[in-house]
Structure 1
Amino acid sequence: MASLRSGAGRSDRPSFWLAARFAARELRGGLSGFVIFVACIAIGVAAIASVGATTRAITEGLSAEGATIVGGDLSFRLVQRPLDAKERGFLQTFGEVSEIASLRAMARIPDGQPNAGNSALVDVKAVDGAYPLKGTMLLDGGGTLVEALRHRGESYGIVVDPLLLARLDLAAGDMITIGKASFRIADTIAKEPDRVGTGIDFGPRVMMSRQALDATGLIQPGSLVRYSARLELPGTVSDEAVHAVEDKAKEAFPEAGWRIQTRDNATRGFDRDVGRFAQFLTLVGLTALLVGGVGVTNAVKTFLDRKRDEIATMKALGAPGGFVVAIYLMQILAITLVGVAIGLVLGAIAPFAGGGFIANTLKLPIVFGFYPLELALAALYGLLTAVAFALLTLGRAHDLPVSALFRDRVAPGRAWPRTVYLVATLAVALSLAGLAILLAYDRRVAGVFVAASAGAFLLLYVVAQGVMTLARRAPSPRSTGLRLAVRNIHRPGGLTVSVILSLGLGLALLVTLALIDGNLRRQLTEAIPERAPAFFFLDIQSTEAAAFDALVKSTVPDVTIERVPMMRGRITALKGVSTTKIEPPADARWALEGDRGITYSDTLPKASTLADGKWWPADYSGEPLVSFEDELAKALDLKIGDTVTVNVFGREVTAKIANTRHVDWDSLSINFVMVFSPNTFAGAPHSELATTTFPKGASEADETRLMKAVVADMPTVTVVRVKEVLDAVNSIMRQLALAVRAAASIALVSSVLVLAGALAAGHRQRIYDAVILKTFGASRGRILAAYGAEYLLLGLAAAVFGVIAGSLAAFGVLEGMMRIDMVFEPVVAVGAALVALVLTIGLGLLGSWRILGKKAAPVLRNL
């Protein structure tokens, strides 16, 4: 006893090192009983570590490819106009310049070839002889790009994405028509260095020379062409030197309207998108870790239940409660480190195993490597979770006397631990929450997640207590087995709280993600196509507008045509303040970072309703006015009377906000963020944008006939089929949903492990119950039926909560954040309920069957 009290005889309390020696001695017995504990921690840590390591691998790849993505040290992007002579001469004083032009067009099989008249939307990229300044262009045939694009005979050469050959059943060497020119397919593209992160492909890539583009006739006044001038500075230059050139360009041409991108900020948009997606997966991984935390609690309970004799002995010998807690906390931390280590190994290899798939899906580069910071963060999450969920259970053993420890075998106590353990648990939990919020890309979303998780745990606990109260107050059933099941649900130390906490949270997450995924798919495949037009027609010249209408009506008489003027412009100032000095909220940043489609109209556009202000009269001729989309206006703090400056064709235009509009974007009717009064752009060159909507009952053959007619008679008009665009979006969503489902599956696996742990935690009490019941004559079948009824009721309670909580969470995301009408899917609810029932009944009966095989005599002798 002296050694327990003084350790080395220098203190009245046992030393830390003595507690460590006791902990190490007990750990020699291995991890018996802690397999589920280790698995829960390992799975959660692995999920977070894999997301962090994969994200870092992609962002490192983006950083390494910055100059290649930009196409040089700097890129100067313009819309609807190329560099003028002064701008080009200015840039050439700093280094080599390469200019490209990009636009969408229709590629058509010419007459005389098989499948003549068939066409496809393509993404045309016209390059000069200096392309590419950075990176390497590779062709499948092994030749050079300059040689492939050379003019031979009567046609220019082009190189194409292999997808175009498959789509139109063509081969290298065949002819194809783009605009008013015919081209020879010289080769296919193996690698295009600056195509990183292009996102959704609306059409295969076609590359041609700048001279060939002029021959197509596609470039007309107002055509939607994007120009990019890339600048490569001589030698090895620093980022400071690059930014010095950027500053000089802004000073020399303040109203150029170009968007300047440097090699070190080439990935800002990509980083943001990757960061948001990674944050979402990390939060799902944290959910798995929190679900696993319930498993930690169950494992610690089971562990202490097995150590009652040792604890009683130490306390009988005078060991302080803190000394006992210290011994077992050290053991818990040591076992946690095993789970963390396993999770880190799995997380470290994740980028090598699945990172390439994600990177290829998003067309992003990836740098495989070992990223200790991300792994350390995952380890910290795992340690904090384990400590947070273990402390309260360990703290309960601090003040329990020896008699209470023995009495707990048959009548588990409910005493709360000392205040110090409550405070320590709260401090660790707050640290975990603070870490999740502080390191999140979007702290508001992370804060909502933390609050929702805390609310879910609290609500689950309330649900569990409510189930126990209902069971306690319910009339006693006549059936002995059912009566036993009901009493097991509300007795002290039962499974109710553990089962509902673990399974309820996992099912709620599964239902939430399933409903969001299902509703997004419904929106893309049913709701939007039902109201959307069949085609968008771009680059209709104003002089051809009447001919276009007549062609459409003569081809498909019942079609509805909607046509508006269209230009492209970039917002350069709000309320007189340059956008370079404005830090917009995250959900509005997109509006200021690129060029926007703009139009003018004397009437309120279709699918729009006024939110504030008045529309201008049809004959308005005063100062320029603009109508702004209401939600974006609020995000940018714009009100009626504020000014907006846009750069169109290199000219700054400032207009006053006359009104704001609610826009139904889901209708896919022609609409714009900004609609100007007609006098704003009087005389400015522009093209027309049109949509065609077919009546109900129209066939795909009608759509194909119209598309062929327009492409044949108006080769410079670009036809975008809405169905194909939605299919492309849906394809990307399907691939990204795999990662989301994988993360949700991890949370469900954690729930299953925790459920198994909860059943194991009550193993000893179940043995006593079964033995006593068998002693009084209960058959094995009757006992099994009673346990089955108990598990059925608990699984049903967890399923009801999971469906309700998951549906509410999905409603909040879809209706509140995405502005999508939610449709409840009964299949999801039924599926979740079946999952809950199968897991609880299956695992419960599996464990009970082993219990029923125990001999009565040894158990009764040890009571």
Structure 2
Amino acid sequence: MAPAELKTVANAGGNGLRLGLAARLALRELRGGLSGFYIFLACVALGTGAIAGVNSVSQMMTGSIASEGQTILGGDIRFESDNQDIGAAERAYIEELGTVSSGLNMRTMARKPDGSDQSLVELRAVDDLYPLYGSFETVPSMPLTELFAERNGVHGAAVAQIFLDRLDLSVGDTVLVGEASLEIRGVIAAEPDSLSEGFGFAPRLMTSRAALDAAGLIRPGSLVEYSYRVRLDDGASASALAGLREEATSRFPNAGWSIRTSQNAAPSLTRNIERFSQFLTLVGLTALIVGGVGIANSVRAWLDGKRGVIATLKCVGAPSKLVVAIYLIQVMLIAAFGIVLGLALGAATPFLAAGALTGIIPISVNASFYPASLGIAAGFGLMTAFAFAVLPLGRAGEVPATALFRQQGFEASSLPRWPYLLTAGLTLAALCLAAIWFADDRRIAMVFVAAVIVAFAVLRLVGHAVQLIARRWPAVRSTPLRLAIGNIHRPGALTPSVVLSLGLGLALLVTLALIDTNLRRELSGNLPERAPNFFFVDIQSNEIEEFENQLMELAPEGKVIKVPMLRGRITQLKGEEVNADNVPSEAQWVLRGDRGVTYAKNQPENSRLAAGEWWPADYQGEPLVSFSAEEAGEIGLAVGDTITVSVLGRAITARIANLREVEWESLSINFVMVFSPNTFAGAPHSWMATLSDPNADAAAEGEVLRAVTQTYPTITSVRVKDALELANRLVGQIGIAIRAAALVALVASVLVLAGALAAGNRSRIHDAVVLKTLGATRATLIRAYVYEYGLLGIATAVFALAFGGVASWFVVSRIMTLPSDFMPDIALMTLAGALVLTVGIGLAGTWRVLGQKAAPVLREL
């Protein structure tokens, strides 16, 4: 530092803080390079890049869906009615709006003509105007009228390739659907509005409405979705679509239809993208906050190397706040550089992901730069860097110059003064509030932020508890072990930093691993054992008795459960119109669209009463209903309240007689609402049945499926194991993304651990030189470090197992309502991983310490 600058610094002592001088000195010192700040940069860049990348990809996907809303929806506006077609007045109103294309969707069975094999299919019947937007493509390519035309009494159909693979069929072959024969004339290559059709459990089969009528599948109680897509004549602005939706709802309040516009073409997909993006963003924020500990360690280590400069500044009269300002400016400039690196990574992520997503989502994904996502990530990065840098900087400003000249560092310093603590606290509070504010589901974000705060607090307690135990541990004879125990609790020990560094990353990893393992085990093992073998739907009342007899003949040791089923939509709660905005998101599915309802004399065997009483078998009073207890609590219903359900165009108001605890995870026949039998006296309905036979093998199940499909071609048979296999694949794909996100947090933890070791290098060098001077060998010191890092790794792993076990149990048992078990193999892998990380990185960080020459260090004592 030049003499003139020293004089200026001396004069600054009485003139308060001079930011210009602080900035000039900070920039001068930065000319020496970024040595000591590489871990700092990595922590900031990793967390910022993760947040920027996840939000950019989410914005790209939701933007692509919104930009192609007309193609995805199949029209400007779409009207849907479940299980009952709309009336003549509603149809006339829709036809006045513009060009209308109608369609029907349902699940049914498709089988080979010889009866040797069959498959569940998602059947879709469309008219000649389909599609209004986009292009429907098949291989071989042909016009829709030719593709579905009737030739010699046989209608045409197009199918997904997986359907041909499953039944070993080819284009030109014939399949039976219901009572109709369909010729496969093409393989579906592009279905432009498939996203708006929702998730399908079976291959797609498309044909004409005439073919569906010939199949005879639409009967009373059949599960059918009627849809009407409209291309408007008067334009399709957002305001026009919103006004049209309100007009249709108010003009036909009892139509029972749901209305979607091209502004919200695929709400379920958009909602899932936003939720998954929120989860990954919170994981990225966790990595950034964990990296904040690394920032604090890096700043502390860097300041430790600046002792001479700080001492000189203070000796010539520089006030503490000037010292803090100089190094805060440097820290924030370096943090800004790290943030720029992270933003560059985040900005590139959509371009890297666009190609992969095109094969998953059947829309054109156009990558771009997303300033809002990058701005949010930059804000998180700056707040984190500032909050975690203030405390070590505040401590450095309070250390007297004499202590710095005596080579005393900052590890033994007390907490900084209250302005620094308040500044750090307010910045962290702002960081938490920003995470909650920008979240799509703020309740989940609040829980996540609270969990991170609790984890930080508990980890600090764990670190202090480990030090307390080490301090009170009885003397041991082994010199390396005695040194290791002393290193754990001595002033300036790495214990709190190491425990905090690895704790959050390992805990998150354990939580996600246990959730993933429990789900996989449930889907592939326990659940199939408890679940029925088959579900059968669309059974007519005149078929149910003979159908049950056939099942008992095919599976004499099996158990058949049958229940009547109708479809109904909840229209009022407690006498007031349904308002989904006042219902938690996890319960809105109960109010969305038509729900299956049933009636019963006796209480279902797979449920128990949580409140109220069941009605007598011969009850003939006012309509009563039994409601699922969990959903009732989320909606705000209690025994004695009323609900109104629209069934077959008739509004039925029933009083809640009792609440039931329902075991949804058993996959048995369960309903949110079970009514008293007199409620639907004389109403037409279909039946649903299950067949449970734990001893049936694949061959026996195949025989049941073939016999039922041939005898009752209009009954839909669902093999539960097929649905579970599909769910297992989906869970596996989601699990890969979740584990990748957890790996980001773990990498941040490793970086923080490396930063903690760098922060303690000076005191390690001092200790090693003194011990070597007194006769300690390198082998003795290595053993001491192995013991020290091993003990810290075990303590951290124990916390991670406890915290991760509790967190995974809460998610699996309370949120997913599935059995949750602790996995010993996960525990052992976590313990082994913690030991490898702490011992390996610890030895790598201290290897240079062991090679230090004694003379330079001893001269500074």
Tell me the TM-score normalized by structure 1: 0.96
Structure 1 pair 153/395, CA: closer, same or farther in 2 (3 Å)? same
Q: Give the SS at the match of 1:396.
A: helix
Q: Give the SS at the match of 1:756.
A: helix
Show the counterpart of 2:843: 845
Determine whether 1:734 maps to 2:765: no
Show the counterpart of 2:792: 794
Structure 1 pair 126/729, CA: closer, same or farther in 2 (3 Å)? same
Q: Is the 8 A contact 1:325 1:398 kept in 2?
A: yes
Q: Give the SS at the match of 1:75.
A: strand
Structure 2 residue identity aligned to 1:778: A
Listed one character per residue, the Cα deviations across residues 228-286 of structure 1 (whole Å, up to 9, x for unaligned) are 11222114232333333333333443222111222223344333322222111111111
Q: Is the 8 A contact 2:48 2:343 kept in 1?
A: yes
CA distance in 2, matches of 1:525, 1:355: 32
CA distance in 2, matches of 1:362, 1:720: 26
> Mapping of 1:144-543 within 5 angstroms?
144-196=143-195, 198=197, 200-354=199-353, 357=356, 361=360, 366-407=365-406, 409=408, 412-543=411-542
Determine whether 1:673 maps to 2:672: yes
Show the counterpart of 1:773: 771
CA distance in 2, matches of 1:141, 1:509: 50
Q: Is the 8 A contact 1:502 1:754 kept in 2?
A: yes
Structure 2 residue identity aligned to 1:99: S
Listed one character per residue, the Cα deviations across residues 385-437 of structure 1 (whole Å, up to 9, x for unaligned) are 11111111000122221112234537942222111101101111111111111
More moved, 148-157 vs 811-820: 811-820
Show the counterpart of 1:550: 549
Q: Shift of the alpha carbon at 1:580? A: 4.8
More moved, 245-254 vs 471-480: 245-254
Listed one character per residue, the Cα deviations across residues 201-238 of structure 1 (whole Å, up to 9, x for unaligned) are 31100000000000111111221111111222114232
Q: Shift of the alpha carbon at 1:688? A: 1.0
RMSD: 2.0
Q: Is the 8 A contact 1:606 1:671 kept in 2?
A: no
Q: Shift of the alpha carbon at 1:356? A: 5.5
Q: Is the 8 A contact 1:5 1:319 kept in 2?
A: no
CA distance in 2, matches of 1:591, 1:412: 57
Show the counterpart of 1:120: 119
Q: Give the SS at the match of 1:536.
A: strand
Q: Is the 8 A contact 1:3 1:9 kept in 2?
A: no
More moved, 498-507 vs 252-261: 252-261
Show the counterpart of 1:87: 90
Show the counterpart of 1:34: 37
Determine whether 1:713 maps to 2:716: no
Show the counterpart of 2:742: 744
Show the counterpart of 1:136: 135
Q: Is the 8 A contact 1:571 1:647 kept in 2?
A: yes
CA distance in 2, matches of 1:14, 1:842: 45
Structure 1 pair 638/366, CA: closer, same or farther in 2 (3 Å)? farther
Structure 1 residue identity aligned to 2:811: V
CA distance in 2, matches of 1:375, 1:582: 30
Listed one character per residue, the Cα deviations across residues 509-533 of structure 1 (whole Å, up to 9, x for unaligned) are 1111111111122222222211110
Q: Shift of the alpha carbon at 1:862? A: 3.6
More moved, 146-155 vs 34-43: 146-155
Structure 1 pair 626/356, CA: closer, same or farther in 2 (3 Å)? farther
Aligned residues: 858
Q: Shift of the alpha carbon at 1:799? A: 1.1
Q: Shift of the alpha carbon at 1:710? A: 0.3
CA distance in 2, matches of 1:513, 1:507: 10
Q: Give the SS at the match of 1:652.
A: strand
> Mapping of 1:656-671 within 5 angstroms?
656-671=655-670
Structure 2 residue identity aligned to 1:663: V
Q: Give the SS at the match of 1:370.
A: coil
Structure 2 residue identity aligned to 1:760: A
Q: Shift of the alpha carbon at 1:146? A: 2.5
Q: Is the 8 A contact 1:41 1:382 kept in 2?
A: yes
CA distance in 2, matches of 1:796, 1:614: 53
CA distance in 1, matches of 2:198, 2:327: 52
Structure 1 residue identity aligned to 2:261: T
CA distance in 2, matches of 1:81, 1:809: 44
Q: Is the 8 A contact 1:285 1:743 kept in 2?
A: yes
Q: Shift of the alpha carbon at 1:591? A: 1.4
More moved, 6-15 vs 713-722: 6-15
More moved, 789-798 vs 348-357: 348-357
Q: Shift of the alpha carbon at 1:643? A: 2.0
Q: Unmatched 5+ residue regions in structure 2?
A: none
Show the counterpart of 1:823: 821
Structure 1 pair 474/411, CA: closer, same or farther in 2 (3 Å)? farther
Q: Give the SS at the match of 1:257.
A: coil
Q: Shift of the alpha carbon at 1:359? A: 7.1
Structure 1 pair 713/397, CA: closer, same or farther in 2 (3 Å)? same
Show the counterpart of 1:598: 597
Structure 1 residue identity aligned to 2:46: I
Show the counterpart of 1:640: 639
CA distance in 2, matches of 1:40, 1:13: 34
Q: Shift of the alpha carbon at 1:58? A: 1.5
CA distance in 2, matches of 1:161, 1:58: 25
CA distance in 2, matches of 1:2, 1:434: 46
Q: Give the SS at the match of 1:755.
A: helix
More moved, 264-273 vs 322-331: 264-273
Q: Shift of the alpha carbon at 1:183? A: 0.8
Structure 1 residue identity aligned to 2:850: L
1:52 aligned to which of 42, 55, 67: 55
CA distance in 1, matches of 2:411, 2:626: 69
Q: Is the 8 A contact 1:198 1:363 kept in 2?
A: no
Q: Is the 8 A contact 2:10 2:317 kept in 1?
A: no
Q: Give the SS at the match of 1:719.
A: strand
Q: Is the 8 A contact 1:45 1:343 kept in 2?
A: yes
Structure 2 residue identity aligned to 1:164: F
Show the counterpart of 2:618: 619
Structure 1 residue identity aligned to 2:102: E
More moved, 370-379 vs 851-860: 851-860
2:102 aligned to which of 99, 103, 120: 99
CA distance in 1, matches of 2:580, 2:664: 29
CA distance in 1, matches of 2:109, 2:605: 28
More moved, 709-718 vs 524-533: 524-533
More moved, 97-106 vs 7-16: 7-16
CA distance in 2, matches of 1:5, 1:271: 63
Q: Shift of the alpha carbon at 1:123? A: 0.3
Structure 1 pair 560/581, CA: closer, same or farther in 2 (3 Å)? closer
Show the counterpart of 2:652: 653
Q: Shift of the alpha carbon at 1:363? A: 6.3
Q: Is the 8 A contact 2:77 2:261 kept in 1?
A: yes
Q: Is the 8 A contact 2:580 2:588 kept in 1?
A: no
Q: Give the SS at the match of 2:121.
A: strand
Q: Give the SS at the match of 1:332.
A: helix
Show the counterpart of 1:833: 831
More moved, 591-600 vs 294-303: 591-600
More moved, 164-173 vs 600-609: 600-609
Show the counterpart of 2:22: 19
CA distance in 2, matches of 1:287, 1:812: 19
Q: Shift of the alpha carbon at 1:379? A: 0.9
Q: Is the 8 A contact 2:65 2:266 kept in 1?
A: yes
1:70 aligned to which of 73, 85, 92: 73
Q: Shift of the alpha carbon at 1:197? A: 5.6
Q: Give the SS at the match of 2:244.
A: helix
CA distance in 2, matches of 1:801, 1:705: 52
Listed one character per residue, the Cα deviations across residues 90-148 of structure 1 (whole Å, up to 9, x for unaligned) are 2112211111111111111112xxxx520110000000111112222122322222221
CA distance in 1, matches of 2:212, 2:296: 68
